[in-house]
Amino acid sequence: MIEVENLTKRYGDFTAVKEINFRIEKGEVIGFLGPNAAGKSTTMRIITCFMPATEGTVRVDGYDVFDDSMEVRKRIGYMPENVPLYTEMSVKSYLHFMAKIKGVPRSQRNNRVDEVINACGLDNFRNRATGKLSKGYRQRVGLAQALVHNPQVLILDEPTIGLDPRQIIEIRNLIKSFGGDHTVLLSTHILPEASMICNRIIVINEGKIAGTVGLMDGKVINIQHEGAERVDLEKLGNIHLQVKGNTEEIIDQLKAIENIDDVQLTHYEDKVGFYNITHEMGSDIRPQLAKIIIQNGSELMELRPMEMTLEDAFLELTREEVVGV
Amino acid sequence: MKNAPTIFLREMRNYFVSPIAYVALIVFTLLTGYFFAAYFNMATRYEGEANLRMLFHNMSITMLFLAPLITMRLLAEEKKSGTIEVLLTSPVTDAEVVIGKFAASMAMFIIMLILTFLCPLFLMIYGNPDIVPMIVGYLGLILLGGAFMSLGVVTSSLTDNQIVAALISFVMLLGLWVIGWMSTTVGSQVGKILSYISLMEHFDDFSKGVMDTKHVIYYISFTVFCLFLAIKSVQSAKWK
């Protein structure tokens, strides 16, 4: 649905986005995750035809954002950061205006406006001026506006920023409900939020894509460094191990065990080594691990299987990036 | 151009929910009424002519001050609040946005003019004026207004600060108004150019009731050129 190829955006000497590539399939809910000023908003503004790219191409539903801008715009609903609205208009007349300029035919306009008002829970506020609404409801109007022409693609820049916890949950559920029918691309720098809403996350840092993380029901199921093979976490497991004893010997012995891919010493303190073990899923290797360590005369302090959280995945992706430089 | 009317209607509504429209309307009608009363008084006492020539001049000067107030928010406000991002990512062209907004400011101006129709009405009741020069004068004012408003749209597109937009637009209008004054001081060739550029010089004939196509063409090309600049300016804001 969205194809981004070698996208670069420079503001004078400053490169905001550097040669990024990604594809988004129909019906996916994609999170754009990264620290502030990572290039999220810039990328979104290019996809929405608000600004042109310096280099590279972006296609939405096969249409180029530069050559077929109008076709792209018809297919996109966009909510910019901080949700700018015409504050003097009522919710209803604002949505009517947006429906009109987005080309919703006159006969369907009333219906569409009513539909998005209901979908976004704005029923009691339809005649209220948008400038008099609370932040949470302004956000809903922003979403309603993005939805009003029933676009195939929704692009939401920081949809929950500045909301209170209850509003955040409501808006998240709303966005979640759009998945499937719509292709959603949203940006955030809040990890739990991304893991709750999205089924894939693109981690972007300093204008470059660090990698992507696949999610299912909030669990990390795969991770892919940019330019590397995708690692399927359903096939690989991680075990955290703390052992007192000679580190080199322990690593050698552990590596000899079948099904163990990699053993890494992550930390060493008071003669206790902290190890991270990557192993293939299937048979449980924990009893075997414990047995070998004890037979060797070392002291087993801790043995714990680890599930990768989005936080770990994010840290790993952004750490590699630093090492790579 | 199918979206221009939509944008025009929104702008018109916006004018009348903010105090600007009312202030401009009241100030303009009050001042025009005062100018008219003063001239009418004098004309009846000293057997002056029953025409609106003086009044048209006074109205054009008043417009010089009020036009920037009418146009300042058109694009600057949208840039400040960020609504321009939603507008320009909708399937509308930059030209539709600019034309729709310009048309709204023109409509405001025409409403202001309509409110001053009382003056020629009085003149017709108490005197015996020529109708055609008055129509020509009003036509001239509309053409002049087009030039004023289109320049205002350009300055409004250059900044996100409404005050700055109004100020630049006022200074430029004033500059173009009085630039002809220098035409006798500088060489004859340059002088000709200066007086041709001047917004005021072209208005003189209209106020006398003379309709000359060269002035019509001047105002229309001035307006079209400014609108072209405004469209380019809206586009270029995205290039940086």
What is the pLDDT of chain A when averaged over all its residues?
A: 85
Does A42 reside within a domain? yes
Same domain, yes or no: A27 and A175: yes
Closest residue in B to A10 (Cα–Cα):
B240
Mutate to test the interface with A, among B10, B17, B81, B86 (most CBs of A within 10 A): B86
Tell me, yes or no, whether A258 lies in a domain.
yes
Q: Using CA atoms, how far apart are residues B53 and B58, in angstroms rounded to an integer?
A: 9
Q: Which of A323, A317, A319 is nearest to A212 (CA)?
A: A317
Domain assignment of residue A54, yes or no: yes
Query: Which of A100, A141, A148 would you mutate first to test chain B, the one with the most B CBs within 10 A?
Result: A100
A51 to chain B: which residues are within 8 Å by CB? 238-239
Model confidence at A213: pLDDT above 50: yes
pLDDT of amino acid B240:
56
Instruction: Report pLDDT digits (tens) over A63-113.
Output: 998 888 899 999 999 999 889 999 999 999 999 999 999 999 999 999 999
Higher pLDDT, A284 or A11: A11
Instruction: Flag whether residue B3 sits within 8 Å of chain A, measured between CB atoms.
Output: yes
Task: Please give the pLDDT value at position A168.
Answer: 83
Q: With 0-12 CB in 10 A as exposed, 13-18 as middle and 19+ as buried, what is A256?
A: exposed
- Chain B residues with beta carbon closer than 8 angstroms to that of A86: 10, 14, 83
Say if the Cβ atoms of B239 and A52 lie within 8 Å: yes
The region, left, alpha or beta by phi > 0 then psi within -120 to 50, assigned to residue A189 is: alpha
Question: Are residues A101 and A248 both part of a single domain?
Answer: no
| Beta strand pairing call for A219-225 and A230-232 | antiparallel
Nearest 5 degrees, angle CA B98-CA B84-CA B158? 60
Q: How many domains does chain A have?
A: 2
Cα→Cα distances A260→A53, A221, A251, B25, B54, Å? 46, 19, 11, 83, 98
- B240–A84 C-beta distance less than 8 A: no
Please check whether residues A209 and A279 belong to one and the same domain.
no
Which chain B residues are within 8 Å of A82, Cβ to Cβ? Answer: 82
Segment holding B113, helix H or strand E: helix B94-115
Supply the DSSP string of A151-173, one letter for each residue.
Answer: -SEEEEESTTTT--HHHHHHHHH
Q: Tell me, yes or no, whether A34 and A111 share the same domain.
A: yes
Which member of B6, B13, B91 has the closest CB to residue A73? B91
Same domain, A61 and A117: yes
Provide φ and ψ at B130, rounded to 5°: -75, 130
Q: Assess whether pLDDT exceeds 70 at residue A302.
A: yes
C-alpha dist (Å) from residue A139 to A136, A167, B123, B185: 5, 9, 57, 61
Which chain A residue has the Cα nearest residue B13?
A: A89
pLDDT at site A320: 52
Amino acid at site B22: Y
Q: What is the DSSP string of B155-196?
A: HHHH-S-HHHHHHHHHHHHHHHHHGGGGGGTS-HHHHHHHHH
Q: Which residues of B touch A76 (CB under 8 A)?
A: 89
Relative to beta strand A200-205, strand A208-216 is antiparallel
Boundary-marking domain end, from A185, A208, A230: A230
Final residue before a domain boundary, out of A230, A257, A291: A230
B85 contacts A84? CB cut-off 8 A: yes
pLDDT at A179: 76
Say how far apart CA A133 and CA A88 lie, in whole Å. 11
- Predicted pLDDT of residue B70: 93
Q: Is the dihedral of CA B18, B20, B23, B24 positive or negative?
A: negative
Q: Is the pLDDT of residue A322 over 70?
A: no
CB neighbours of residue B128 within 10 Å: 7
Q: Which domain holds residue A262?
A: 234-306
CB contact under 8 A, A78 and B89: yes
Write down which residue in A199, A230, A261 finishes a domain: A230
Distance (Å, whole) CA B197 – CA B195: 5
Domain-embedded: residue A275 = yes
Sequence-distant (6+) residues with CB within 8 A of B13 are A89
- My answer on whether A46 and A178 are in the same domain is yes
- Residue A192: name the closest of A215, A209, A164 by CA: A215
pLDDT at A324 over 50: no
pLDDT lower than 50: segments of chain B: none
Residues A105, A92, single domain; the answer is yes
Q: What is the CATH number of the domain that holds A287?
A: 3.30.70.3190
Euclidean distance between CA atoms B229 and B154, whole angstroms:
7
Q: What is the pLDDT of residue A241?
A: 83
Q: How far apart are CA A155 and CA B231, in angstroms?
A: 26
Please name which of A141, A143, A196 lies closest in space to residue A165, comparing C-alpha atoms: A196
**A187 and A238 in a common domain:** no
SS3 B129: coil
Return the CATH number at A30.
3.40.50.300
pLDDT category of residue A121 using cuts at 50, 70 and 90: confident
Domain limits, chain B: 4-236
Residue B90 and residue A73: Cβ atoms within 8 Å?
A: yes
Say whether residue B19 is in contact with chain A using an 8 A CB cutoff.
no
Distance of CA A163 to the CA centre of its chain: 19
* Best of B77, B90, B238 to mutate (most A CBs within 10 Å, chain A): B90
- Contact between A11 and B10 using a beta-carbon 8 Å cutoff: no
Q: Assess if residue A101 is contained within a domain.
A: yes
Distance from CA of A206 to the nearest CA of B (A): 19
Pair (A262, A226) in one structural domain: no
Whether B86 sits inside 8 A of A82 (CB atoms) is: no
How far apart CA A298 and CA A293 sit, in angstroms, is 6
- For residue A159, pLDDT over 80 is answered with yes
The encoded tokens of residue B115 equal 């409110």
pLDDT digits (tens, 9 = 90+) for B33-77: 999 988 888 877 877 777 788 889 999 999 999 999 999 999 999
* Sole residue written with tokens 């002519």: B49
Rg (CA), chain A: 24
Q: Do residue A186 and residue A276 come from a single domain?
A: no
A157 Ramachandran zone, left/alpha/beta (phi>0; psi -120 to 50): beta
Position A323 scores a pLDDT of: 43
Same domain, A163 and A25: yes
User: Does residue A207 share a domain with residue A244?
Assistant: no
Question: Are A183 and A1 contacting, i.e. CB atoms less than 8 angstroms apart?
Answer: yes
